[in-house]
Amino acid sequence: MRFPCSRRGAVAACERSLKRLGVETIDLYLLHWRGSVPLAETVKAFEQLKSDGKIAAWGVSNFDASDMAELWALDGGHACATNQVLYHLGERGIEWDLIPRCREQRTPIMAYSPLGQGEILLEPAVEDIAEKHGVAPATVALAWVLRQEGMIAIPKAANLGHVRANAAALGLAFDPADLKTLDAAFPAPNGPSPLAII
Ligand SMILES: NC(=O)c1ccc[n+]([C@@H]2O[C@H](COP(=O)([O-])OP(=O)(O)OC[C@H]3O[C@@H](n4cnc5c(N)ncnc54)[C@H](OP(=O)(O)O)[C@@H]3O)[C@@H](O)[C@H]2O)c1
């Protein structure tokens, strides 16, 4: 949901969400993207929600490396539990700067659309490695994201078979040849690029 993340706006929006969800606490509350409200005000609102017990943790989404630097410089900014950004085999731009900076600051990245909304699963390199390991292409795509330290992923799946294939990603270990094949098909960035969003 979109709302102005001013101190009053964020608190009021959270209270509406709690009511709609019928819960007393939201585990993780995210700022969807930067808006016109100063970040310091949003952080104060989120910290207030936390001390009032209305949220257990807060984070941000679609923040690039400079947004994160600004956030970490604020009072309370290091309480940010995660930055949710687009990341999958076909969208590796954040490896250049955002992932290393977040790792240094111990802020986990949460990869959204980690299956490339299904498109990446049709790529021959992904299919070949899936066949080699006897798993689904989604298992390969997700395991590739999750093999990295400080990385969370939120695939969306609406059927049980997909959920099972996604869960199997936790048990898949790549060998160096797999990673070489995937790097050749989906090259790592060789310079900075604007944060990709959908
Ligand atoms: N913060 C942001 O700005 C932002 C932006 C976009 C998305 N998101 C969040 O990211 C999450 C997921 O992103 P997404 O839905 O865009 O993309 P995604 O998770 O990469 O892909 C979802 C698609 O992949 C299919 N799928 C899932 N598991 C599969 C499997 N094992 N085998 C084959 N197909 C499979 C799903 O089909 P079925 O549903 O039929 O299983 C669905 O069509 C959502 O929670 C969304 O809210 C956040």
pLDDT, one tens digit for every residue, the chain (198 residues): 455 678 888 999 999 999 999 999 999 999 999 988 999 999 999 999 999 999 999 999 999 999 999 999 999 999 999 999 999 999 999 999 999 999 999 999 999 999 999 999 999 999 999 999 999 999 999 999 999 999 999 999 999 999 999 999 999 999 999 999 999 999 999 999 999 999
- Ligand 1 lining (C-beta closer than 6 Å): 32, 61-62, 84, 112-118, 121, 136, 138, 154-159, 162, 165-166, 198
Q: Report pLDDT for 196.
A: 97
Pick from 84, 142, 146, 156 the residue to mutate for probing ligand 1's pocket: most ligand atoms within 8 Å of its CB: 156
**C-alpha of residue 170 to centroid of ligand 1, in Å:** 17
Residue 114 CA to ligand 1 centre (angstroms): 7
- 3-class SS shares of the chain: helix, strand, coil, % to 5: 50, 15, 35
CB 110 within 8 A of CB 59: yes
Ligand 1 pocket test target in 33, 61, 62, 112 with most atoms within 8 Å of CB: 112
Give the pLDDT of residue 188: 98
Distance CA 192, CA 8 (A): 36
* C-alpha dihedral, 12 to 17 to 19 to 25, nearest 10°: -100
113 Cα–ligand 1 center, Å: 5
Distance from Cα 61 to the centre of ligand 1, integer Å: 16
